[in-house]
Amino acid sequence: MRKVLITGTAGFIGYHLAQLLLAEGMAVHGYDAFTDYYDVTLKQARHARLARTNAFTSTLGRVEDLALLTRVTQDFAPDVIVHLAAQAGVRYSLENPQSYIESNVVGTFNVLECARLAQVSHLVLSSTSSVYGGNTAMPFRETDKADQPLTIYAATKKAGEALSHSYAHLWGIPTTAVRFFTVYGPWGRPDMALFKFTRAMLEGNPVEIYNGGDLYRDFTYVSDLVEAIRLLIDVPPRKGEPVAGNDSLSEVAPYRVVNIGNSEKVRLLDFIDALEEALGVKAVRHYMEMQKGDVFATWADNSLLKSLTGFSPTTDYRTGVRHFTNWYHDYYRA
């Protein structure tokens, strides 16, 4: 039985990925700290659903705890590690930057050490479209420079990419860094726009819309995202073996970066229109200025993902929004 260690299984993406791997008959060990950045009961509910399967085991712990993480890795002996645990949120990094350094830099270093000791066949770690920072040429390609992070969150995720490249070079660890583009869907994070907008609209409160709604995002439905990760697990990078002319494969290491996005630029106001239609409620719109560290638009070039896996996310944002609101009504009885 294939064994996969996933950090962050009580999180939004980690939960969905663990579900998918378990459904395929893999053994999954989840490692999560249940931090209180957002509602812990939501994290507990995700893990409780995973625990219905005997092939799922878990450890409560922080990735900053190297001794515990090392012991768990040695005991479980994973074939693959998927590192998703992170301090998330662009805006919160303005309030508590230290938590991002501890989790996203120190924690990632600890995972890399464990991957080295375990000699895993593939390490997959999460990054973000935020690393593209001040880039204006779109769609974003993995071969674009990403040296102008606009937030501490983005800087820490870029640091994780750089650290993992050095480990891939020094220790020959096949490593794929996946850059996520605005992931949404059922069981999502309460600090994300769709969740916040839904809650506000159902409670009759105004929704805060930055830059007058003149923002564009490449919204990626969570089931598409985890399907892409699942397929990428099977294609570890091999030094000197690019798959296409646009491959981001390192010249000196078994390491590549891959975008996962819907490859569609959607205006925020259109996204809100879709939410109004799904809920049958009109939003009370409170227009605000651009937030510090925000970017005007994100848009993924998905051609490398397609070359590697034959797969591209296709879920239309209107469909994805309906799936989310159905889940929200069911979970919160709202």
More confident residue, 214 or 42: 42
Judge whether residue 157 has pLDDT over 80: yes
Q: Which residues belong to the active site?
A: 153
In a domain, 281, yes or no: no
Domain coverage including residue 56: 3-180+222-261+300-314
In a domain, 247, yes or no: yes
Alpha carbon of 158 to those of 45, 161, 162, 321: distances in Å?
31, 5, 6, 30
Judge whether residue 136 has pLDDT over 90: no
**Average pLDDT of the residues in 153-170:** 97
**Average pLDDT of the residues in 47-71:** 98
Domain tally, the chain: 1
**Average pLDDT of the residues in 142-164:** 95
In a domain, 123, yes or no: yes
What SS3 class is residue 247?
coil
**How many whole angstroms separate alpha carbon 35 and alpha carbon 138?**
35
Q: How many alpha carbons fall within 13 Å on the CB side of residue 241?
A: 8
pLDDT digits (tens, 9 = 90+) for 274-294: 999 999 999 999 998 888 777
pTM: 0.97
Check which CATH number belongs to the domain holding 13 and give it.
3.40.50.720
Q: What is the mean pLDDT of the chain?
A: 95
In a domain, 217, yes or no: no
Residues 6+ apart with CB under 8 A from 40: 34
Judge whether residue 270 has pLDDT over 80: yes
In a domain, 35, yes or no: yes
pLDDT over 70 for what percent of the chain? Answer: 100
**How many whole angstroms separate alpha carbon 110 and alpha carbon 330?**
38
In a domain, 212, yes or no: no
Residues 6+ apart with CB under 8 A from 312: 263, 302, 305, 306
Alpha carbon of 48 to those of 16, 24, 39, 83, 224: distances in Å?
13, 19, 15, 20, 23
Q: Across the strands, what pairs with 284? A: 206
pLDDT digits (tens, 9 = 90+) for 97-108: 999 999 999 999
In a domain, 288, yes or no: no
In a domain, 73, yes or no: yes
The confidence score (pLDDT) of residue 106 equals 98
Helices (H), 93-221: 97-100, 107-118, 152-171, 193-203
Question: Tokens 């390192």 appear where?
Answer: 250
